[in-house]
Amino acid sequence: MTLRKRFTLFTIFWLIFILILFNIFVYLFMTKITTRSEQQVMTNKVNLILENNKIMDKDHLSDEGLLREFYNVNELIRIITPDGKTVNLQGSDTDLLALPVKFEPYHVQGEMFVGSTRVLYMKVPLYEDSEIIGMLEIERKLNLQDSYMKVLVAALSVTSIGAILFAIFGTYWFTSRLTAPIQHMVQTMREIDRSGKLRKIEIGDKEESAELLQLIRAFNQMIERLDRTFARQKQFVADASHELKTPLTVISSYAGMLKRWGRDDVKIRDEAIEAIAKESERLQNLTKSMLMLAEAEQEDWLSLQTFDVVQMVDELASMLQLTFQRQIRVHTSAGDLRMSGDKDKIRQLLVILLDNAIKYSKEPIDVTVSSVKQSVRIHVTDKGIGIEENEIQHLFERFYRVDGARRRTTGGVGLGLSIAKRIVDLHEGQIDVFSKPGKGTTITLQFPQTLKNTSGR
């Protein structure tokens, strides 16, 4: 069952329930009010009759004029003696005249049904010198009141049916407006599923509820994120294909050269073997970097622990000095500076930065470690060739190299800084680049000593 039908049926059910209760209350209330009014009229009439002294005289109970002036249509007024005889009677209604004669020596009043008509009755004993000489009885049909009640029931029924019909159309119209954005969203999802193209839901000029606007905005934001993700995937595939094409072309060309002339020409054979080995190594590095970047996209890539940053930087600097025979100077004012994070990933991040500094500079490299407001700050400074200002904003893009000369000199694949940026982001940190061509580059890292959000890692 659709949300629209469910909401409409729920609303109609409760409306009918409330209308039934209301109609019952109105009917019973009006019945009680009209009955009480008629009973008061009968009480007043009895009091007026009893004010006549003749009615207290046994000899005048049968006077015809005693009750005539108080008689009304749809009424029966009679006087009954203790022996059960009717000595005075005013009335012409056959139903009331057919009522049995019964003497009651005490005051009685109430309501009964004669056929389908309500009848009020009142019986009052008559005394003469403390002796009961008879009983005054008044019977009154409520024909007029019953007809009014029938009109009331008809009016309540018509208005209730009208209210229900109005509620049905009103609720259907309201739920149509309420569910229109949801239906539009479902239709958009189906079109996305059918065509494979992402689409946003357009927010029209109609005034929608805040909840629906939030739902639409959340959906559109999700589509934007998916669109950016797909765009990055397409770009990544395109860049990877381009990067893989070059070494494969070189390998294929030299393999063909070996096949044609390499058997007899030692120089060509040696050149081809060296080129194929070099490009194969480059392919391995490229594949390794691509796999590492794919792993870095996972939220649970980190293995958190608390470690000493200064000790890790000292050990890494000593290892790289021995490997590349380059001087790396570590500066710190803190003997023990601890932070929470993935020690191996932070070490990998510094390897990437120091490797770039070694490639693009000849002078000693400086690494400064300090503590600033519950944060760890690391500066990696080289005095190399530097970077143009308009190139800095693209440094962390995948497969981006500053210029062709660097690529030929260093053989990089352009993924190192993308991996570095991902490591920084997962550690809730910040990375900034300051560089001037010909003077060198400083890369600043800043991490919180304790990660705030460790869920999913």
Residue finishing a domain among 260, 293, 326: 293
pTM of the model: 0.49
Q: Which residues have a Cβ under 8 Å from the Cβ of 294 and sit 6 or more positions away?
A: none
Phi then psi for residue 448, to 5 deg, are -70, 145
Structural domain range at position 287: 210-293
**26 and 50 fall within a common domain:** yes
Flag whether pLDDT at 375 surpasses 70.
yes
- Same domain? For 36 and 113 the reply is yes
> Are 33 and 136 within one domain?
yes
Shared-domain flag, residues 341 and 214: no
Here the tokens at position 409 are: 């000199």
Q: What is the pLDDT of residue 276?
A: 86
339-366 residue pLDDT tens: 998 898 899 899 989 988 998 888 999 9
User: Tokens standing for 346?
Assistant: 């932070």
Mean pLDDT value of segment 386-413: 67
Query: Alpha carbon 13 to chain centroid distance?
Result: 26
Alpha carbons within 13 angstroms on the beta-carbon side of residue 144 total 9
Domain C-terminal end among 149, 177, 200: 149
The percentage of residues in the chain with a pLDDT greater than 70, rounded to a whole number, is 89
Give the span between the Cα atoms of 378 and 357, in whole angstroms: 14
pLDDT tens-digit readout, 326-337: 999 999 887 788
pLDDT score for 301 = 66
Q: What is the CATH number of the domain that holds 400?
A: 3.30.565.10
With beta carbons less than 8 A apart as the criterion, state whether 346 and 383 touch.
no
Average pLDDT score over residue span 191-209: 70
Of the candidates 168, 163, 159, 181, which has an alpha carbon nearest to the alpha carbon of residue 10? Answer: 168
219-246 pLDDT per residue, tens: 888 888 888 777 777 777 776 776 677 7
Q: How confident is the model at residue 208 (pLDDT cuts 50, 70, 90)?
A: low
Q: How far is 454 from 281, CA to CA, in rounded Å? A: 37
Q: 381: buried, middle or exposed (CB in 10 Å: 19+, 13-18, 0-12)?
A: buried
Number of domains in the chain: 3
Q: Does 317 fall in a domain?
A: yes
Which has more pLDDT, 216 or 1?
216
Q: Which of 71-75, 147-151, 212-216 is predicted least confidently?
A: 212-216
Q: Are 116 and 248 contained in the same domain?
A: no
Q: Compute the mean pLDDT over every residue in the chain, rounded to the nearest whole number.
A: 83
Q: Specify whether 15 is located in the same domain as 137.
A: yes
Same domain, 287 and 318: no
